Amino acid sequence: MCYAIPGKIILIDGKFVTLEYFGEKRKARNEFYDIAIGEYVYAQGGFIVQKIEESEALPLLEIWKEVFVVLKERDLRLVSEPKTLYQTANAKRQQVLGNSCCVHGIIEFSNYCVNDCLYCGIRKSNSKVKRYRMSIEEILAATKDAVSRLGFKAIVFQSGECPYYTDEMLIDLVKSARALGILVTMSVGERSIESYKKMYDSGARSVLIRFETSNKKVFGKIKPESDFDKRINLIKALRDMGYLVMTGFLIGLPGQTEQDTMEDIKLTGELQTEMFSFGPFLPHPETPLKAEKSPSLEMCLNTIARARIMFPESKIVVTTAIETLEKNNGAKAGLMAGANSLMVNITPEKYRCCYEIYPERACNDVKVEDRIKYVINLLNSLGRAPTDIGI
């Protein structure tokens, strides 16, 4: 299965390129390749991430062409006359972004963390969690497998805040991962601007870093060692550096109100986010917030729908936390409430269960091949194409 459709280059204007997909035109930035009009490329998040030979592209396009039409029609049929909040949001998604739905892989490469966030199961004070650190070679082996065998074109590298990984190690990771022709997203928490600049210069083009809550009082309580303004300033600096920013928040933290969640949506959008990433707070038994409650699925779906209506052009991911809240139906419900992206956890199985930021994570024990089948079937049934074809 392939998570991108080859696009044909029809115009080059410096770094900006126009690509064509079955008559539709999309824009993408080219920062990595020598290209010429008529050549074929893959784009992810608006960046050209891989060149592909015409002889390879044409048969793929032939397959996609038919699938594309069928999926589009199915999506159109499923969007009814909008009456409810979710239907309105879903119609907005279709109108603005069509049926493309990006599927990112995520590798959680270490659960060591220097922080002690009150909500998080891998906080440093939790002595019960089995800690692990993957070597760069191990991370790259998992990446290569995800790219060559499973077809991923966008991978998120996530860890707790773990200074064991020096800038040099992360640069090594970014360079080698980028060389595989993927969009590299780093999710390694608060590191210095210089450190992020080096990763950018090595080929990373996207970061995932949530601000967790826009309510400063709540932030101070749940992230006692962090500073809200510093975190927001880092996010803005990364955006200004040229990174695509994926950010967001937790829903239903103790002390948070529904109004706060509206403010969270607003702030996520105002940060000129590429992708909204938010999910329910799920209490972990080995944290100080163990006795608190998680929010309802409805609250999460309302948040997706409101985010879609307020910021129609953004990508909105149905996070694993949302899927955990409602294991049977969370992904589908999220996609039908305005979301257009999913994550597939490609962390090697032996480590996956240790990345326990919250308990009983969805898909922890599901084989990646089965998860992919599930995602493809779900997207297929909803008329969504598992592709990211630029902007």
What residue type is 64 in one-letter code? W
* Interface pick for ligand 5AD out of 93, 231, 284, 306 (rule CB under 6 A): 284
- From 109, 119, 219, 243, residue interacting with ligand 5AD (rule: CB under 6 A): 119
Q: How far is the CB of 215 from ligand 5AD (least distance, A)?
A: 14
CB of 252 to ligand 5AD, least distance (A): 9
**C-alpha span between 377 and 218 (Å, rounded):** 39
Q: Two tokens at 391?
A: 């902007």
Q: Using CB under 6 A, which residues numbered 62 to 101 contact ligand 5AD?
A: none
3-state secondary structure of 155: strand
Is 281 a binding residue for ligand 5AD by CB under 6 A? The answer is yes
* Residues between 301 and 360 with contacts to ligand 5AD, criterion CB under 6 A: 321, 357-358
| Span from 144-152, 258-266, 274-282, 346-354 in contact with ligand 5AD (CB under 6 A) | 274-282
Minimum CB distance to ligand 5AD smaller for 21 or for 249: 249
Stretch that binds ligand 5AD, among 41-49, 116-124, 175-183, 381-389 (CB under 6 A): 116-124
Interface with ligand 5AD includes 265 (CB under 6 A)? no
By CB under 6 A, which span of 254-262, 266-274, 280-288, 370-378 interacts with ligand 5AD? 280-288
Window contacting ligand 5AD (CB under 6 A); options: 15-23, 278-286, 341-349, 360-368: 278-286
Query: Does the protein bind ligand 5AD through residue 210 (CB under 6 A)?
Result: yes
Distance CA 230, CA 228 (A): 5
Helices in 311-367 by DSSP H: which ranges?
320-325, 330-336, 349-352
> What contacts 361, CB < 8 A, 6 or more positions away?
320, 321, 324, 355
Per-residue DSSP letter, 84: S
**Per-residue DSSP letter, 100:** B
Stretch that binds ligand 5AD, among 31-39, 119-127, 140-148, 173-181 (CB under 6 A): 119-127
Nearest CB to ligand 5AD, comparing residues 4 and 321: 321
Is residue 354 classed exposed, middle or buried when 0-12, 13-18 and 19+ CB atoms within 10 A define those classes? middle
Q: Which is nearer to ligand 5AD, 152 or 358 (CB)?
A: 358
- Give least dist CB 185 to ligand 5AD, A: 13
- Helix ranges (H only) for 242-367 are 258-270, 297-310, 320-325, 330-336, 349-352
Q: How far is the CB of 278 from ligand 5AD (least distance, A)?
A: 8
Nearest CB to ligand 5AD, comparing residues 203 and 280:
280
Hey, what's the torsion of the CAs at 104, 355, 351, 4, to 10 degrees? Answer: 0
Q: Report how far residue 273's alpha carbon sits from residue 346's, in angstroms, rounded to the nearest whole number.
A: 24
Nearer to ligand 5AD, 18 or 227 (CB): 227
The window from 118-126, 147-155, 192-200, 213-221 that contacts ligand 5AD (CB under 6 A) reads 118-126
Cα–Cα distances in Å, from 53 out to 7, 21, 50, 59, 319?
A: 11, 16, 10, 11, 34
- Could you tell me which residues come within 8 angstroms of residue 130 by beta carbon, excluding any fewer than 6 positions away? 354
Q: How far is the CB of 77 from ligand 5AD (least distance, A)?
A: 35
Residue (321 or 368) nearer to ligand 5AD, CB: 321
Which segment (74-82, 141-149, 164-172, 279-287) binds ligand 5AD by CB under 6 A? 279-287
Let me know: does 344 contact 371? Beta carbons within 8 Å: yes
CB atoms within 10 A of CB 364: 17
Shortest Å, Cβ 15 to ligand 5AD? 31
DSSP 237-257: HHHHHT-EEEE-BEES-TT--
> Which residue in 28, 102, 120, 155 binds ligand 5AD (CB under 6 A)?
120
Q: Are strands 244-247 and 206-208 parallel, antiparallel or unpaired?
A: parallel
Which residues sit at the interface with ligand 5AD, rule CB under 6 A? 119-121, 210, 212, 250, 279, 281-282, 284, 321, 357-358
